[in-house]
Amino acid sequence: MNNAFPTPTLTRPHDELLLEGVALSSIADRFGTPTYVYSRAALTSAFDAYRKALDGRPALVCYAVKANSNLGILSVFAALGAGFDIVSGGELARVIAAGGAPGKVVFSGVGKTREEMRQALEAGIRCFNVESAAEIERLNDVAGKLGKQAPIALRVNPDVDPKTHPYISTGLKSNKFGVAFDQALDLYRRAAALPHLRISGIACHIGSQLLDPAPMAEAASKVLGLVDRLAAEGIRLDHIDLGGGLGIRYRDETPPAVEDYLGPLLKVFEGRSEELCFEPGRSLVGNAGLLLTRVEYLKPGEEKNFAIVDAAMNDLARPALYDAYHDVVAVSARDIPPQDYDIVGPICESGDFLARQRSLALAEGDLIALLSAGAYGMTMSSNYNTRARAAEVIVDGDTAHLVRQRETVESLYALERTLD
């Protein structure tokens, strides 16, 4: 376990773990477990780091909704003036419901349907990040039938290795995302000739959990060269979208500060007039949240000991999916010898684990917190084994706000029907 918590809003002033001014045990007593708990102060601080780093130049920070799409989270960022990066019509509906401005929304993703295009055009979003030649044609057709012009940016694939997990690498030739760099110029020419498209910008995103700014700076240099080639042909852009991807500390990583990550990128575009757009997700919410769960059983074994908790892989899929690491801490300190435990859930899969070989002093009924769970936790959760999904709470100072009620089992099959 790390010697310091990943966010200063999580503290242990005595023997009890607090998020901001609220004891986690009181949240469990009030809302039950498992429950995702987020810090508003941590969310605000993370967003402010981007604003400070970008101060003095035209820029828009668009929160990547896929990281955590709870309305409470979205409303915090909307109030801070954020834009939003979406990948579905459902995410657009969430942004609008949370008070986000459609005019600050960019729509990414490789599989936009006609209905999603119509929805976004009618809402008046800022830009479509287009990812294929076929999408160019479809979007022109949909916009024409609505009597509108669709603002677009081509998401180009710079073929830069981000040096991250292969499942979250998105900028290589072998990835499904974006258009090939050497085809982008011809596709821009094609888009410029279509009557219902308006070329607005260019976009790229090479991957997630990036710990080194160098690959992104390399990609930015390649993008800038293409921007200048477009300008030479009379295709001028009003914005350059450089995606997101800045990593966080889960275990012993040392991600750069936001200003150090953005510094090399801003140097590439020094003196340019185009607005820069960024799409951070994990770095805004990852270390602002944790998953609170209770120990149901302690099960000693010949080869390992298990702490069986009431959360499972359906609540937090990252360990099973990526073999991802999350720090685990006991909510209340116990004066007993620690033991090594695998933290596992009740799901009928050997892959149902949340953490392996953690030294903890535990008793049955104790609460534990899985840290750095604010990103890709609740948004990737499921109802596998007919398990109701967790509650979600945002702590603001000394107040805990329920921002998502725990599901009921009845709600899981409310849309189903039996046969006579």
- Give the chain's domains with CATH numbers: 10-39+286-412 (2.40.37.10), 108-280 (3.20.20.10)
**For residue 168, what pLDDT band results from cuts at 50, 70 and 90?**
very low
**For residue 85, what pLDDT band results from cuts at 50, 70 and 90?**
very high
Q: Which residue(s) pair with 16 in the sheet?
A: 332
pLDDT one-digit tens code per residue, 37-71? 999 999 999 999 999 999 999 999 999 999 999 99
Please determine, for residue 172, whether its predicted confidence score (pLDDT) is greater than 60: no
Identity (one letter) of the amino acid at 264? P
Q: For the beta carbon of residue 89, count every other beta carbon within 10 angstroms.
A: 18
Annotated catalytic residues are 348
Between CA 58 and CA 84 the distance in angstroms is 16
Residue-level pLDDT at 159: 79
Element (H or E) spanning 110, and its range? none
On the CB side of 273, how many CA atoms lie within 13 Å of its CA?
Answer: 5
Burial 329-360 (b: 16+ CB within 10 A, else e): bbbbeeeeeeeebbbbbbbeeeebbbbeebeb
User: In Å, how far are 64, 112, 124, 178 from 170, measured between CA atoms?
Assistant: 15, 17, 27, 8
Give the pair of three-digit tokens for residue 303: 């080869």
Q: For the beta carbon of residue 245, count every other beta carbon within 10 angstroms.
A: 28
Please determine, for residue 176, whether its predicted confidence score (pLDDT) is greater than 90: no
Least confident of 143-147, 162-166, 167-171: 167-171
pLDDT one-digit tens code per residue, 238-258? 999 999 999 999 999 999 999
Give the pair of three-digit tokens for residue 75: 């409303």
Please determine, for residue 149, whether its predicted confidence score (pLDDT) is greater than 90: yes
Q: Quick one: what percent of the chain has pLDDT higher than 90?
A: 88
Mean pLDDT, the chain, whole residue set: 94
Residue-level pLDDT at 173: 52
Residue-level pLDDT at 215: 87
Per-residue pLDDT averaged across 277-296, rounded? 98
Dihedral sign, CA of 197, 199, 204, 205?
A: negative
Residue-level pLDDT at 175: 62
Q: Quick one: what percent of the chain has pLDDT higher than 70?
A: 95
pLDDT one-digit tens code per residue, 101-110? 999 999 999 9
pLDDT one-digit tens code per residue, 53-62? 999 999 999 9
Per-residue pLDDT averaged across 79-84, rounded? 98
Between CA 168 and CA 308 the distance in angstroms is 29
**Strand blocks (E) in 124-208:** 127-130, 150-157, 179-180, 197-203
Give the pair of three-digit tokens for residue 72: 């409470």
**For residue 169, what pLDDT band results from cuts at 50, 70 and 90?**
very low
Please determine, for residue 163, whether its predicted confidence score (pLDDT) is greater than 80: no
Please determine, for residue 178, whether its predicted confidence score (pLDDT) is greater than 90: no
